[in-house]
Structure 1
Amino acid sequence: MASAETDSKSLFSLESYHVSEEHGFILPEPLEELPPYYKPWMDIALRVPELVHSHELRSHVNKMPLLSSTFLQKHRELRLAHLALSMMTMGYIWQEGEKNTAEILPQNLAVPYWEVSQRLGLPPIITHADAVLANWKKKDPDGPFNMQNLELLVRLPGGESVRGFFLVTLLVELAGVPAVRSIPTVINGVRCSDTEAVARGLEIISKSIEDMTDALRLMQVYVDPSVFYGIMRIYLSGWKDNPCMPKGLIYEGVQTEPMEYSGGSAAQSSLLHCFDELLGVKHEPKSASFLIRMRDYMPPLHKKLIQDISLQPSLRNFVQQQDCKDLNKAFDLCVTKLLALRSYHINVVSRFITVPAARARQLREQNHDSDGEIISRAPTALEERGTGGSGIMSFLKTVRDQTKDTLLPEASKEVKHHS
């Protein structure tokens, strides 16, 4: 059992990582408005979909005044500014699709965007922390945190499917909150050899991961695969590992050389990184280097939490040393639920990317007059890639297989036997 002498100061806690008890990594109550000085930004940011549709976004941005970022004081002001500038940037670059990308981001957008990014420790491109974690409000402030009562602050082109995509992802994050809250229970339990505490924490994490999978199922209700593939994906794409923008992007007034950044990606969610470090999932080198690079797209304190979890004593070794059936079972259940989440994610990616990509290829080969088919508008360069720049299916399957290898030896035999 726990040693009474454990110094409370040395206990692992979430207090210093900008993680909320109620919302986890989600930004609690994001601001909806910036100070009046920044009205020119918000006026354009709130109209990105219509201005892209009418091919006028670039001309509006080009006429925008160059504003100083110094009047943004609070963290939530900076987050809303980063979100608004991100949405404008993605619309600006991709307004004309993959054929006529902007190679220079104009100074009046690039300079404040760079400054706000530097202050937040985020890159100057749209991230999961912007589009999902800081892009929500409740219609009724006292109402539930669900699809009916949630709305986006700022949108990209894609209509209701954009709302569905970002808000379902937000609900997946929310479902993961009990798991995040239980991570310190598990870590402190391992430190003081309290097998009951560890098993209890792992059971909560298992249930929470199962709830994340259930939340992810809402994608098929709220997002149209052809709209996601044909319209939305390009606006989440970056300028690293992207054949449409092989040189990257010049941020005018920041530096003369082009810079490369990956687009928004589910791999930028801190949740799965935390689970991998806690459970001891060992990724093969190529996947690991992509995942570690994605941590630079997270708020710095969230990245630090992941690193600090990785420095704790090994949970898997502790479980193996205890020779306790209940503990083994709790650990393996946790890995199994993470495996199920990753398998379901592959299923989602297949439905939203692989199948529409095959259809788009077929239309091109048949030289159809395919204006009626939304998917034919999708950039060909992205066919096999995720918006973060990874070769998506091989990456996801490798990550899933490495998760399976984390099961304890006996359970691993069982899984291999059944699969």
Structure 2
Amino acid sequence: MSKPCDVKLKNYDISEEVGFLLEDPLEKLPEYFEPWNKLSSAMPELVLAGIFREEVKKIPELADGKLANNKELRLAHLQLSIIGSGYIWQDGDKGVPKMIPRCIAVPWYNVSKRLDIQPILSHPSFCLANCKKIDPERPLSLENMKSTYKVPGGDSCNWFCIVTGAVELEVANSLKPILTILNGVQNGDTEVVITNLQNLTSVIRQLKTVVSRMHDNLSSELFYNVIRPFLAGWGGEDSPMPDGLIYEGVENNKPIKALGGSAAQSTILQTIDAVLGIKHKDEKEKFLKLMRKYMLPKHRQFIEDIENLPRQLSEMVLTTYNDELKKVYNSCIESVTQFRSYHIQMVTKYIVIAASKQNSNKEFESLSKKGTGGTNLIPFLKGLRNDTKDTVK
């Protein structure tokens, strides 16, 4: 008798319609939090004017206990992360403060603890909680999407956010095939697995098409010199804050290290890796596991529960005599390899080549050719791709 797999989307705050994106996120917090509403909205202009830090110091310390529900917490984390990023990076590498004032630090830290994510501008906030319908009567799509909060970069920053959001939206199309594959594997239903591996492969190929839209309205120079610095983290030998950042009034003013926004903080590829049984070696696996701390807890649990299912797709393929199953599995692996290759091309254009140009922003030299998540980018990404390629059965 067939036994359904107990991985259900509703248990993980994942939507059939929009995937890992937050459905209909708030644009503003209640009136009590108006100082956060105003500062986070005005951050790009005030940073460019060089007066953002002074404005931050003027606001009162608000009680995060007044945030009433998950959507308010998600927006608060986004707003405080935008404010924190502007405060830290207003003057580039050379002018970074060692401490962020308690009026921001205390609620930022508390909200992060309540959500169980890190106190930094990261993918769950800047992308997942920041993509809103332009026309509420129409479905969410790249053409019907805006980012509510931005870092400096104007329309290009909006484009960066919504294309990233559109990739997440496309991933929603993979969820039904993924769940059906998991069920098929638990029940030994080869035909179901074959059909849905083909469906999953189609979605993964489409992801590349969506990512390629980034080229339409985002130049590598603007991304590298203007947007990317505000997604950086703190702590580590190459950081202008090697010991981390002091959040005033938090953890006895002991510096906290945090990694910046990174594609590795998206649940997408780690979920696909878990379904297909793609294993990464040594330091790469260690880094990807670390990135899960930057995901929402239910999203990271989704990956872990897939990894811990009693029967795994990779074992099914390894022990099968069905040539068609092996063929479609290997085709799916190949689509992931191609997607990772395309990601390397994007990173080469937007970071590596941009960093080598003479007009690259010298105010943020610490970022150079590293990822905002702190990795030496190209060797790391090539390693992930090679691990994927090696999974072929």
TM-score (structure 1 length as normaliser): 0.91
**Letter matched to residue 72 of structure 2:** E
1:385 partner letter: K
Q: Which residue of structure 1 aligns with residue 31 of structure 2?
A: 36
Q: Partner of 2:355 in structure 1?
A: 357
Is the aligned partner of 1:147 residue 2:142? Answer: yes
Match among 283, 288, 300 for residue 285 of structure 2 = 288
Contact 1:240 1:389 in 2 (8 A): no
* Aligned counterparts of 1:376 and 1:11: Cα–Cα separation in 2: 50
- Which whole-Å deviations, capped at 9, do the CAs of 1:183-216 have from their partners, x for residues lacking one? 2211111111000111122112111111111100
AA aligned opposite 1:389: G
Distance 1:84 1:196 in 2: 47
The answer as to 2:305 corresponding to 1:308 is yes
Say if 1:231 and 1:378, in contact at 8 Å, map to a contact too.
Answer: no
Which residue matches 1:103? Answer: 98
Counterpart-to-counterpart distance in 2, 1:68 and 1:85: 13
> What is the CA distance between 1:7 and its match in structure 2?
4.2
Instruction: Report the CA distance between 1:147 and its aligned residue.
Output: 3.2
Following superposition, the deviation at residue 148 of structure 1 comes to: 3.0
How is 1:329-348 mapped onto 2 (pairs within 5 angstroms)?
329-348=327-346
Deviation at 1:231? 1.1
Gaps of 5+ in 1: 364-372, 409-419
SS of match in other structure, 1:47: helix
Question: Does 2:384 align with 1:388?
Answer: no
Aligned with 1:211 (options 206, 209, 229): 206
CA contact (8 A) 2:94 2:363 kept: no
- In the alignment, does 2:254 pair up with 1:254? no
> What's the CA shift for 1:11?
3.5
User: What is the CA-CA distance between 1:145 and the residue it aligns to?
Assistant: 2.8
Percent pairwise identity: 38
Q: How far apart in 1 are the matches of 2:376 and 2:240? A: 15
For the pair 1:272 / 2:269, whether they are aligned, the reply is: yes
Q: Any conservation in 2 of the 1:177–1:208 contact (CA below 8 Å)?
A: no
Q: Over alpha carbons, which structure has the higher Rg?
A: 1
In 2, are the aligned partners of 1:249 and 1:259 still within 8 Å (CA)?
Answer: yes
Deviation per CA, 1:4-26, whole angstroms, max 9, x where unpaired?
A: x2344x54322211111111111
Query: Could you say what the CA RMSD is over the residues aligned between the two structures, in angstroms?
Result: 1.2
Mapped contact 1:234–1:378 kept (Cα < 8 A): no
CA contact (8 A) 2:7 2:306 kept: no
Unpaired runs of 5+ residues, structure 2, are: none
- Deviation of residue 149 (structure 1)? 2.1
**Contact 1:65-1:108 at 8 Å conserved across structures:** yes
1:56 matched to 2:51: yes
Structure 1 residue 377, shift from structure 2 partner: 4.0
The alpha carbon displacement at 1:232 in A equals 1.1
Tell me if 1:171 matches 2:166.
yes
> What is the one-letter code of the residue matched to 1:253?
G
- In the TM superposition, residue 144 of structure 1 has moved relative to its aligned partner by 4.3
Amino acid aligned to 2:61: L
Q: Which residue of 1 aligns with 2:385?
A: 400
Query: Which of 239, 244, 255 pairs up with 2:240?
Result: 244
Give a deviation string over 1:11-57, Cα, whole Å, max 9, x none. 43222111111111111110111111000111100001001001111
- The residue that corresponds to 1:326 in the other structure is 324
Match in the other structure for 1:415: none
CA–CA distance in 2 between the matches of 1:398 and 1:76?
37
Q: Quick one: distance in 2 between partners of 1:344 and 1:145? A: 25
Give the length in aligned residue pairs. Answer: 390
> Given the two structures, how large is their TM-score scaled by the length of structure 2?
0.97
How far does residue 240 in structure 1 lie from its aligned partner after superposition? 2.8
Amino acid in structure 1 at the alignment position of 2:174: A
Counterpart of 2:328, as a letter, is A
Match in the other structure for 2:72: 77
Q: Is the 8 A contact 1:165 1:223 kept in 2?
A: yes
1:189 partnered with 2:184? yes
Please give the alpha-carbon distance, in whole angstroms, between the structure 2 residues aligned to 1:143 and 1:218. Answer: 21
1:378: Cα distance to partner?
5.2
